[in-house]
Amino acid sequence: MTGIGFEVLARDGAARLGRLDTAHGPVQTPAFMPVGTAATVKAMTPENVAATGARILLGNTYHLMLRPGAERIAALGGLHRFMNWSHGILTDSGGFQVMSLASLRKITEEGVTFRSHFDGSRHLLTPERSVEIQRLLGADITMAFDECTPFPAEREAVEASMELSMRWAERSRSAFVERPGHGIFGIVQGGVHPDLRQRSAARLVEIGFDGYAIGGLAIGEGQATTFAMVEVSVPWLPEDRPRYLMGVGKPADLVGAVKRGVDMFDCVLPTRSGRTAQAFTREGPLNLRNARHADDPAPLDGECRCPACTGFSRAYLHHLVKSGEILASMLLTRHNLTYYADLMAALRAAIGAGRLADFSFGGAAP
pLDDT tens by residue, 16-55: 999 999 999 999 999 999 999 999 999 999 999 999 999 9
Are both 249 and 282 inside the same structural domain?
no
Residue 363 is predicted with a pLDDT of: 60
Domain boundary (216, 233, 267) is at 267
Range of the domain at 202: 5-267
Would you say residue 365 lies in a domain?
A: no
Does the pLDDT value for residue 159 go beyond 60?
yes
Domain boundary (218, 242, 267) is at 267
Q: What is the DSSP letter of 151?
A: S
> Among 12, 92, 253, 342, which one carries the catalytic annotation?
92
- Span of 65-74, 141-150, 294-303 with lowest mean pLDDT: 141-150
Based on the residue annotation, tell me whether 92 is a catalytic residue of this protein. Answer: yes
* Cα gap 256→138, rounded to integer Å: 32
Residue 149 is predicted with a pLDDT of: 85
Average predicted confidence (pLDDT) for the chain:
96
> Among 210, 266, 301, 342, which one carries the catalytic annotation?
266
Would you say residue 364 lies in a domain?
A: no
Are both 220 and 350 inside the same structural domain?
no
pLDDT tens readout for residues 204-232: 999 999 999 999 999 999 999 999 999 99
Residue 1 is predicted with a pLDDT of: 47
φ/ψ region of 3 (left if φ > 0, alpha if ψ in -120 to 50, else beta) reads: left
Domain boundary (221, 238, 267) is at 267
Are both 165 and 218 inside the same structural domain?
yes
Question: If pLDDT is split at 50, 70 and 90, which confidence band does 365 have?
Answer: low
Short-list 21, 83, 28, 19, CA closest to 53: 28
Residue 29 is predicted with a pLDDT of: 99
Would you say residue 359 lies in a domain?
A: no
Beta strands in 13-111, from DSSP E residues, in sequence order? 15-22, 25-29, 31-33, 56-60, 88-92, 103-107
* Cα gap 224→234, rounded to integer Å: 16
Short-list 221, 168, 220, 223, CA closest to 193: 221
Would you say residue 127 lies in a domain?
A: yes
* Cα gap 105→95, rounded to integer Å: 11
Write the CA distances from 105 to 6, 66, 124, 218, integer angstroms.
37, 15, 10, 22
Based on the residue annotation, tell me whether 210 is a catalytic residue of this protein. Answer: no
Residue 195 is predicted with a pLDDT of: 98
N- to C-terminal Cα separation, the chain: 37
